């Protein structure tokens, strides 16, 4: 059995700027919520943020809040509160933890940012491109706050994204404008949307460059860094502030590459992570793998906020394309093609699939994909069983034993 060493991943200096960015973001929302101005829209993580930005809303993303419930290990105890309301323990534990927290009147924002409650929505806007759970989640809050809920219903499990897909989604996006104008009391301006789309595309490009630095050997970045550094890519896309903070981060990572500095000491193995992180075990998993001189350096998850198709000259159709060609929306054939390309690009020698009990949408190992991909690429894989937020769904001992055995297998190959 491989021995566990105390190897920590190298700290990223720009992470402090990102923490400040997130603190400012939540304080701005809190002030707006208390004052009632500017208006606040809740949005799903891959929802039509650019439209909301262009219409002057501050945007709150409940999934990010729920990830914080997971990372602070508050989630597991809160999930039963939502179960008691009829939301099954088998459905999205972002939803159940978040609703549970609201029912109990608690939030991680209190401890982290000294903010005592989540911001009140003036409108809630979802896109079912990722799953149906977001719609149920937002409708529950819509009733609680007596606020309108509007959404886009996206095709799922699609192969090639066709003009017909794009046209239909673009129409649904245009259809949001009228109800949103009723909330803001102001007219929609196309120039503002073009500007938000341009900034969002620029944010996406720099975020992609950041993640792509992990293709260097040794990799200057880990997946575990990515899960926290991605905050601005999710909540701040379409803003200049995000661009600024990410340019600085990119420069630091490029400097590491120039100096041949890896994020993990003596990198021996390079792993791709498919599926969601286990938020309550980020540090434990990071230490476990770094202790085996193994860098989990890239993931499907962090790449989900790359929207290369955005084009300010064709805002609605390009948004429809960008939000429909995402990995999570696609069929298995497209997903396999994508992962195969990523394994080659990042020069990976092993894959870890996370079978997240409550999120089938971000779990890709239940229908033979690991076996098919291993056969084509010759790259071995390990599936770990767990969950994004519900820590009752995993065994730490089992995960540790399986990961160590997997790395031993890579050592021998
Ligand atoms: S994609 Fe998964 S984790 Fe995200 S909201 Fe949907 S069910 Fe929850």
Q: What is the pLDDT at residue 7? A: 59
Which residue from 93, 362, 389 has its CB within 8 A of the most atoms of ligand 1, so it is best to mutate? Answer: 362
Among candidate residues 126, 173, 178, the one with its CA nearest the CA of residue 150: 126
DSSP letter, residue 362: G
Locate the ligand 1 atom nearest the alpha carbon of residue 91 and give its number: 7
What is the spatial distance between Cα 233 and Cα 200, in angstroms, rounded to a whole number?
A: 9
3-state secondary structure of 152: strand
What is the spatial distance between Cα 356 and Cα 353, in angstroms, rounded to a whole number?
A: 9
Pairing state between β 350-356 and 294-299 = unpaired
State pTM to two decimals.
0.96
How close is the Cα of 131 to the center of ligand 1, in Å? Answer: 6
3-state secondary structure of 242: helix
Among candidate residues 268, 230, 238, the one with its CA nearest the CA of residue 350: 268
How close is the Cα of 128 to the center of ligand 1, in Å? Answer: 10
Contact 249, 18 (CB under 8 A): yes
Within a 10 A sphere around the Cβ of 184, how many other Cβ atoms? 17
Which residues make Cβ contacts (< 8 Å) with residue 113, sequence separation at least 6? 23, 26, 27, 30
How close is the Cα of 94 to the center of ligand 1, in Å? Answer: 7
Locate the ligand 1 atom nearest the alpha carbon of residue 358 and give its number: 7
DSSP letter, residue 366: S
Q: What is the pLDDT at residue 205? A: 97
What is the spatial distance between Cα 42 and Cα 49, in angstroms, rounded to a whole number?
A: 9
Largest CA-CA distance found in the chain, in angstroms, rounded: 65
Q: Which residue has the CA at smallest separation from atom 6 of ligand 1? A: 131
How close is the Cα of 116 to the center of ligand 1, in Å? Answer: 25
Contact 214, 257 (CB under 8 A): no
Among candidate residues 179, 153, 200, the one with its CA nearest the CA of residue 322: 200
What is the spatial distance between Cα 230 and Cα 236, in angstroms, rounded to a whole number?
A: 10
Q: What is the DSSP string of 47-63?
A: S-HHHHHHTT-EEE-HH
Instruction: Enter the tokens of residue 281.
Output: 């075990």
Locate the ligand 1 atom nearest the alpha carbon of residue 276 and give its number: 3
How close is the Cα of 161 to the center of ligand 1, in Å? Answer: 22
Locate the ligand 1 atom nearest the alpha carbon of residue 131 and give its number: 6
- Ligand 1 pocket at CB < 6 A: 63, 92, 94, 130-131, 133-134, 359, 361-362, 388
Among candidate residues 198, 132, 153, 134, the one with its CA nearest the CA of residue 324: 153
What is the spatial distance between Cα 299 and Cα 55, in angstroms, rounded to a whole number?
A: 33
What is the distance in angstroms between the CA of the first residue and the CA of the last residue of the chain?
16
Q: Which residue has the CA at smallest separation from atom 5 of ligand 1? A: 134
Q: What is the pLDDT at residue 2? A: 45
What is the spatial distance between Cα 147 and Cα 270, in angstroms, rounded to a whole number?
A: 47
DSSP letter, residue 302: G
How close is the Cα of 24 to the center of ligand 1, in Å? Answer: 26
What is the spatial distance between Cα 247 and Cα 257, in angstroms, rounded to a whole number?
A: 15
Among candidate residues 29, 33, 50, the one with its CA nearest the CA of residue 152: 50
Q: Which residue has the tokens 């239940």?
A: 366
Locate the ligand 1 atom nearest the alpha carbon of residue 130 and give its number: 1
How close is the Cα of 95 to the center of ligand 1, in Å? Answer: 8
How close is the Cα of 187 to the center of ligand 1, in Å? Answer: 33
Locate the ligand 1 atom nearest the alpha carbon of residue 137 and give its number: 5
How close is the Cα of 133 to the center of ligand 1, in Å? Answer: 7
For the chain, what is the radius of gyration of the CA atoms?
A: 21
In this prediction, the residues of the chain whose per-residue pLDDT falls under 70 are 1-8
How close is the Cα of 306 to the center of ligand 1, in Å? Answer: 18
What is the spatial distance between Cα 108 and Cα 339, in angstroms, rounded to a whole number?
A: 34
Within a 10 A sphere around the Cβ of 124, how many other Cβ atoms? 27
Locate the ligand 1 atom nearest the alpha carbon of residue 134 and give its number: 5
**Residues 314, 317, 318: CA angle, nearest 5 degrees:** 70
Q: What is the pLDDT at residue 1? A: 42
Q: Which residue has the CA at smallest separation from atom 2 of ligand 1? A: 359
Which residues make Cβ contacts (< 8 Å) with residue 356, sequence separation at least 6? 275, 276, 278, 362, 363, 386, 387, 388, 393
What is the spatial distance between Cα 385 and Cα 365, in angstroms, rounded to a whole number?
A: 10
Q: Which residue has the tokens 């896309």?
A: 237
Which residue from 63, 151, 278, 363 has its CB within 8 A of the most atoms of ligand 1, so it is best to mutate? Answer: 63
């Amino acid at each position: 059995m491989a021995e566990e060493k105390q190897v920590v991943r190298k700290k990223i200096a720009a992470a402090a700027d990102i923490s400040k960015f997130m603190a400012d973001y939540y304080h701005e929302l809190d002030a707006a919520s208390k004052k009632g101005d500017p208006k606040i829209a809740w949005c799903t993580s891959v929802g039509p943020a650019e439209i909301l930005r262009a219409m002057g809303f501050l945007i709150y993303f409940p999934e990010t809040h729920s990830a914080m419930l997971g990372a602070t290990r508050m989630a597991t105890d809160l999930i039963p509160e939502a179960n008691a309301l009829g939301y099954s323990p088998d459905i999205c534990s972002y939803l159940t933890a978040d609703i549970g927290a609201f029912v109990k009147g608690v939030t991680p924002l209190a401890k982290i940012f000294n903010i005592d409650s989540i911001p009140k929505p003036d409108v809630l806007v979802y896109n079912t491109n990722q799953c149906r759970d977001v719609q149920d989640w937002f409708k529950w809050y819509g009733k609680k706050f007596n606020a309108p809920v509007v959404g886009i219903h996206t095709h799922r499990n699609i192969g090639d994204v066709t003009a017909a897909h794009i046209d239909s989604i673009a129409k649904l996006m245009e259809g949001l404008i009228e109800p949103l104008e009723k909330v803001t009391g102001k007219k929609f301006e196309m120039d503002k949307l073009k500007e938000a789309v341009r900034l969002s595309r620029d944010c996406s490009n720099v975020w992609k460059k950041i993640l792509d630095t992990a293709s260097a050997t040794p990799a200057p970045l880990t997946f575990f860094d990515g899960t926290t550094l991605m905050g601005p890519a999710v909540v701040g896309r379409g803003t200049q502030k995000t661009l600024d903070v990410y340019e600085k981060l990119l420069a630091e990572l490029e400097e590491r590459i120039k100096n041949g500095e890896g994020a993990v000491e003596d990198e021996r193995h390079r792993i791709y992570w498919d599926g969601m992180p286990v938020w309550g075990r980020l540090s434990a998993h990071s230490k476990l793998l770094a202790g085996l001189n193994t860098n989990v350096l890239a993931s499907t998850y962090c790449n989900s906020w790359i929207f290369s198709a955005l084009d300010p000259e064709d805002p609605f159709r390009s948004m429809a394309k960008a939000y429909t060609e995402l990995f999570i929306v696609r069929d298995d054939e497209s997903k396999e093609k994508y992962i195969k390309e990523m394994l080659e690009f990042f020069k990976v020698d092993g894959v870890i699939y996370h079978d997240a009990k409550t999120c089938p949408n971000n779990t890709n190992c239940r229908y033979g994909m690991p076996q098919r991909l291993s056969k084509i690429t010759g790259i071995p894989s390990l599936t770990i069983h767990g969950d994004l937020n519900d820590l009752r769904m995993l065994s730490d001992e089992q995960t540790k034993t399986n990961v160590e055995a997997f790395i031993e297998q890579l050592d021998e190959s």
